[in-house]
Amino acid sequence: MSTTETEEQRDGGDAQDGKDLGAAGAQLSTAPREELTGGPSLSVVGWVRWFWRQLTSMRVALILLFLLSLGAIPGSLIPQNSVDELKVRTFKETHTTVSPIYEKLQFFDVYSSVWFSAIYILLFVSLIGCIVPRSWQFVGQLRGRPPGAPGRLTRLPAYTTWRTHTEPEQVREAALAMLKKRRFRAHTVGDAVAAEKGYLREAGNLVFHIALIVMLVAFAAGQLFKSEGGKLIVEGDGFSNTLTQYDDFRSGSLFRTDNLVPFTFKLDRFTGTYEKSGPQRGTPRTFEAGVTYSQGGGPDKKSVIQVNKPLVIDGTKVYLLSHGYAPVVTVRDGRGKVVFNGAVPLLPIDNNITSTGAIKVMDGYRDKDGKKDQLGFQAFFVPTFGGAGKGTMFSQFPGLEFPVIALTGYHGSLGVNAGLPQNVYQLDTAKMTQFKDAKGQILKARLLPGEKMTLPGGAGSITFEKEVKEWASFQISQQPGNGWALTGAIAAIAGLVGSLFIQRRRVWVRAVTGEDGVTVVEMAGLGRSESPKLPEELGDLALTLNAEAPTAPDSSDVPAEGAEK
Amino acid sequence: MTLAAATNENLAHISNVLIYSSMAVYTLAFFAHIAEWVFGSRSKVGRTAAALTGAGSAAAPSVAVRVKQAGGTAVLDRPKVITRSAAGTRDVPDGPGAAGGTEKGDLYGRIAVSLTVLAFLVEAGGVVARAMSVQRAPWGNMYEFSITFSTVAVGAYLGFLLARKNVRWMGLLLVTTVLLDLGIATTWLYTDSDQLVPALHSYWLWIHVSTAIFCGAVFYLGAVGTLLYLFRDSYENKLARGVKPGSFATSVLERLPAAASLDKFSYRINAAVFPLWTFTIIAGAIWAGDAWGRYWGWDPKEVWSFITWVAYACYLHARATAGWKGRKAATLALIAFGCWLFNYYGVNIFVTGKHSYAGV
Ligand code: HEM
């Protein structure tokens, strides 16, 4: 760490340092000054000005930042509506005393709550109020020139001196040339050369803070214009990106339907593989959805969507969310006429994809008397049954190794004509009658592929065909502003690196003729903060300059502090 | 489709043996460090007390200026660079280190460092063997995070030593916490070697998780510096006020670097890691965008990464704000690291979210 040793006398005291440096030390950064502003004056304008000055001070920025991190905490410990509504509901049921209080405090919607919004909006107002004047100030600094040398260079954090026979003017010229070559902004003021370097620090800092604003705006715009919907597709089926095709759909308040990118895609094949043995048996290994898609009526293209690899079509992303099985069944009426044939997607209820669902025959079915009726079946499906003759209807493995379907049947009104939206995976049996067997027991059967359950009284039959398709559900989302957010993020990191790794520093070289006619060269450096690099750099510069203005051989005595002008 | 090759039980076993061996070697390093501190405490170097009052000599570090002359290089009178501390800081030289300038202490210190190097190599071997046994990046559960985490922390420490930075003062504390980390990893967090679920199959795993572990490990070194800064600073304050600190405190604290040096050390670390941490969060958001269909969903892990980020931003701001420099800023830095720790242990174990790879 620091091997720096320090000068022994510190007579002047700290207060004097500032005075000594004067303009030379000022404005090395554009950070707002922490002045001890008094209270507001009593006029309205006075109050507003006072409030604004407080809001844009570093101190308040600090407090707001702290509040922001503090305010984010409850949202990570209490279930959030935006993440999992079901969890919120269970929480409310089990914590009846605190829930009303939490509700009042908007603890179930922390990140869209009034108070959280207030914190970050204030922070960003403060940020803008801080950035704008700082940017102007910085432009001013760029236009101006580094301030001239302070009276006593010995006061500066790094200092060096020597005597030389080279003329002062030549020394200054050499110093100016050297500093310019090292890409300092340098000029000669009076008897000294003033130079400054590392403006990128300030620029980086401003870029970083501006990039934060860009990211916030992009994020907000994304929320307003975004759309997001889900769709479950069985192998062989397709989807076209219009509102009516979605199973569910959400959008931001400024979204319009014609913002949807026109494309279609078809799920050719879904592949899921699982660990076959060992303690991790059943853990998923790969999920892949092979699709064929076409954009705006263009040519068909093939692609594979994986959990981590969405398909991107003109800014719209198609994500693979989940998957399950869709056994193919055929339902016949009493005369053997096929009234339903197709794959029925069933919803998984555990990790081994034990699935449930409903098979609904809405029209085309007539009972044995030829009367119109509707059929409904509750289905339980396991891709891997425990084994013949043993095992419950809980799957032992998520892969399709020993599929079995268990069915019970109903007839009557499915209730689909009532106009109410209905869950396709659930059977509303309120107006239906369950089929019973000859002994009056509930009719139910476990079927293997190819097997058939005959309905009593010539009501027909249902067959589990020797085919089980897979389905996959997709999330289709588009959110404009992502490009801006990413640009902002990259700019923020670049700015941060500039801001934190670059030192802004000033160097002065003074050369005057001493009392004995020998030239006294003095060099000093000042940085924003102490840095071991500054003395090193100064030494380096001194070394270079010393080559052009060699040390006078007789200089046994180092000039006293007051040797300057 | 392609079923990744089964985990190699043999390599997994080798990895476990290596991790346990490294713990044994770290334990030896721990005792060597203890010996270093003990022998160091017996030294009677008339070291700091006098220096603390500010009567140090003015032997300024000089920069060699060699003036080339025809026929050889003659060293003439060189310009000496004299440095001054910034206004308001104490002029206190760094302590002599744990060995306290004693030869025996120094010997044990060197032994400790050598043992740490050995333990580091063994532990790194354990991490690599684990990675080979599962044929993926060894960052799928908390056991794997933990062993990588301490390997990186020790690696960074040794890197500083190699770069001739004065960091040996943290050796004992570091080795102790590494043992703690490995102890927790092998007893409570242990998970059999296994492959990843599909959601983790992504090159973002390499990018996001490796930088996250690196940030945490190096932030940790910064936090050690900050903690010791707080102790050393109050010790120096006491001396400046003429109060005599307890003899144990004196013995330990006088051997540490000056408060200003410790503060600078941890600031540099935190400032250097902060952009990388920013990158880690952004990379995580991009990955989440690919894997879960949204970039930011206020998942507990995301929330705590954000909190940690804001807390470090707070610290950096505090250092630029009058009245907040020094101890207050240091406290903020410790809070920020506390947030990181909670994000690691707390969120992984106690809070359920999408990031539930704890494997416990
Ligand atoms: C959105 C919230 C903000 C974040 C995340 C943030 C973050 C940061 C970070 C990480 C730094 C460190 C860079 C460095 O040390 O050079 C920094 C510096 C700085 N920030 Fe902010 N900032 C925020 C808001 C503000 C506000 C509201 C102000 C105005 C009062 C402000 C003024 C400054 C200044 C002047 C510096 C430079 C300090 C220095 O030169 O060391 N920041 N900010």
Q: For ligand 1, is residue B163 a contact (CB within 6 Å)?
A: no
Phi-psi region of A185 (alpha: psi -120 to 50; beta: other; left: phi over 0): beta
CB A413 within 8 A of CB A363: no
Window A:509-528, CB contacts with B under 8 Å: 521, 523
Q: For ligand 1, is residue A205 a contact (CB within 6 Å)?
A: yes
Position A19 scores a pLDDT of: 44
- Cβ atoms < 10 Å from Cβ of A555: 16
Give, rounded to a whole angstrom, the gap between the first and last alpha carbons of chain A.
36
pTM exceeding the 0.95 threshold for the entire prediction: no
Q: What percent of chain A has pLDDT over 90?
A: 34
CA distance A91 to A505: 57
Residue A56 CA, closest ligand 1 atom number: 30
Residue in chain B closest to A318 (alpha carbons) equals B293
Give, rounded to a whole angstrom, the gap between the first and last alpha carbons of chain B.
29
Percentages (nearest 5) of helix, strand, coil residues in chain B = 65, 5, 30
Shortest distance, CA A371 to any CA of chain B (angstroms): 49
Q: Three-state SS across A104-150?
A: HCCHHHHHHCHHHHHHHHHHHHHHHHHHHHHHHHHHHHHHCCCCCCC
* Amino acid occupying residue B144: E
Q: H or E element: which one contains A186?
A: strand A185-189
Residue in chain A closest to B93 (alpha carbons) equals A5
* Amino acid occupying residue A437: D
CA distance A339 to A108: 48
Phi-psi region of B135 (alpha: psi -120 to 50; beta: other; left: phi over 0): left
Q: Which DSSP letter does residue B245 get?
A: P
Position A3 scores a pLDDT of: 35
Which ranges of chain B have pLDDT less than 70?
1-7, 43-79, 84-91, 193-201, 352-360
Which one has a higher pLDDT value, A151 or A26? A151
Distances A17 to A152, A255, A523, B89 between C-alpha atoms, Å: 10, 60, 17, 13
Nearest to B265 among A1, A321, A540 (CB): A1
Position A391 scores a pLDDT of: 61
CA distance B233 to B249: 12
With an 8 Å Cβ cutoff, is A550 touching chain B? Answer: yes
Which one has a higher pLDDT value, A334 or B214? B214
CB A481 within 8 A of CB A221: yes
Structure tokens at B308: 């940690």
Position A207 scores a pLDDT of: 95
In degrees rounded to 5, what are phi and psi of residue A197? Answer: -150, 160
Q: Do A555 and B272 touch (CB under 8 A)?
A: no
Q: For ligand 1, is residue B158 a contact (CB within 6 Å)?
A: no
Position A530 scores a pLDDT of: 59
Residues in chain B: 360
Structure tokens at A297: 């009526």
Q: How many helices (H) and strands (E) does chain A have?
A: 10, 22
Which one has a higher pLDDT value, A307 or B63? A307
Contacts for A19 with CB less than 8 Å, ≥ 6 apart: none
Q: H or E element: which one contains A266?
A: strand A263-274
Position A34 scores a pLDDT of: 59
Position A11 scores a pLDDT of: 33
With an 8 Å Cβ cutoff, is B339 touching chain A? Answer: yes
Ligand 1 centre distance from Cα of residue A139 (Å): 18
Tokens 């019973």 appear where?
A436
Tokens 């599962």 appear where?
B134
In degrees rounded to 5, what are phi and psi of residue B22? Answer: -65, -35
In degrees rounded to 5, what are phi and psi of residue B86? Answer: -65, 160
Position A269 scores a pLDDT of: 92
With an 8 Å Cβ cutoff, is B9 touching chain A? Answer: no
* Amino acid occupying residue A11: D
Average pLDDT, chain A: 84
Residue in chain B closest to A555 (alpha carbons) equals B77
Ligand 1: which of A60, A127, A209 to mutate, most ligand atoms within 8 Å of CB? A209
Position B195 scores a pLDDT of: 65
Residue in chain A closest to B90 (alpha carbons) equals A6
Q: Is A553 helix (H, G, I), strand (E, B) or coil?
A: coil
Which one has a higher pLDDT value, B92 or A121? A121
CA distance B180 to B186: 10
Closest Cα partner for B348 from B115, B184, B171? Answer: B184
**Region A299-327 average pLDDT:** 89
Position B329 scores a pLDDT of: 92
The pLDDT-based confidence of A388 (bands split at 50, 70, 90) is low
Shortest distance, CA A54 to any CA of chain B (angstroms): 14
In the predicted structure, residue A14 carries a pLDDT above the cut 60: no
Burial string for A75-110 (b: 16+ CB within 10 Å, else e) reads bbebbbeebeeeebeebbeeeeeebeebeebbbbbb
In degrees rounded to 5, what are phi and psi of residue A479? Answer: -140, 100
Tokens 């979204």 appear where?
A255
Q: Which DSSP letter does residue A165 get?
A: S
Dihedral (CA of B14, B18, B20, B21) sign: positive
Residues linked to residue A379 through DSSP beta bridges, in sequence order: A357, A407
Structure tokens at A127: 């940020």
CB A250 within 8 A of CB A228: yes
- Judged by average pLDDT, the poorest of A179-183, A336-340, B288-292 is B288-292
Q: In what order do the strands lie in the sheet with A158-164?
A: A185-189, A192-197, A505-513, A519-527, A158-164, B82-83
Contacts for A399 with CB less than 8 Å, ≥ 6 apart: A272, A273, A274, A276, A383, A384
Give this complex's ipTM: 0.84
Position B223 scores a pLDDT of: 96
In degrees rounded to 5, what are phi and psi of residue A350? Answer: -150, 180
pLDDT in tens, A19-42: 456 666 666 777 776 555 566 667
In the predicted structure, residue A555 carries a pLDDT above the cut 70: no
Ligand 1 centre distance from Cα of residue A492 (Å): 12
Ligand 1 centre distance from Cα of residue A497 (Å): 13
Residue B271 CA, closest ligand 1 atom number: 15
Tokens 């095709």 appear where?
A245
Position A497 scores a pLDDT of: 92
Position B47 scores a pLDDT of: 46
CA distance B111 to A7: 36
Shortest distance, CA B158 to any CA of chain A (angstroms): 14
Q: Do B300 and A73 touch (CB under 8 A)?
A: no
pLDDT in tens, A223-267: 888 888 889 999 999 999 988 889 888 888 888 888 888 999 999
Structure tokens at B344: 């690691």
Structure tokens at A428: 């509303």
Window B:54-73, CB contacts with A under 8 Å: 54-61, 63-68
| Preferred mutation among B1, B67, B83 to probe A, highest tally of A CBs within 10 A | B83
Structure tokens at A321: 């969310």
Q: Is B295 helix (H, G, I), strand (E, B) or coil?
A: coil
Q: Is A295 helix (H, G, I), strand (E, B) or coil?
A: strand
Q: Is B119 helix (H, G, I), strand (E, B) or coil?
A: helix
Dihedral (CA of A118, A120, A123, A128) sign: negative
Q: Say how far residue B14 (Cα) sits from the centre of its chain.
A: 27
- Longest CA–CA span in chain B (Å) reads 76
Q: Do A501 and B79 touch (CB under 8 A)?
A: no
CB A391 within 8 A of CB A358: no
- Cβ atoms < 10 Å from Cβ of A423: 10
Closest Cα partner for B229 from B106, B325, B314? Answer: B325
CA distance A356 to A353: 9
Q: Three-state SS across A56-74?
A: CCHHHHHHHHHHHHHHHHH
Contacts for A218 with CB less than 8 Å, ≥ 6 apart: A481, A482, A483, A484, A485, A488
With an 8 Å Cβ cutoff, is B325 touching chain A? Answer: no
CA distance A72 to A66: 10
CB A16 within 8 A of CB A547: no
Residue A29 CA, closest ligand 1 atom number: 40
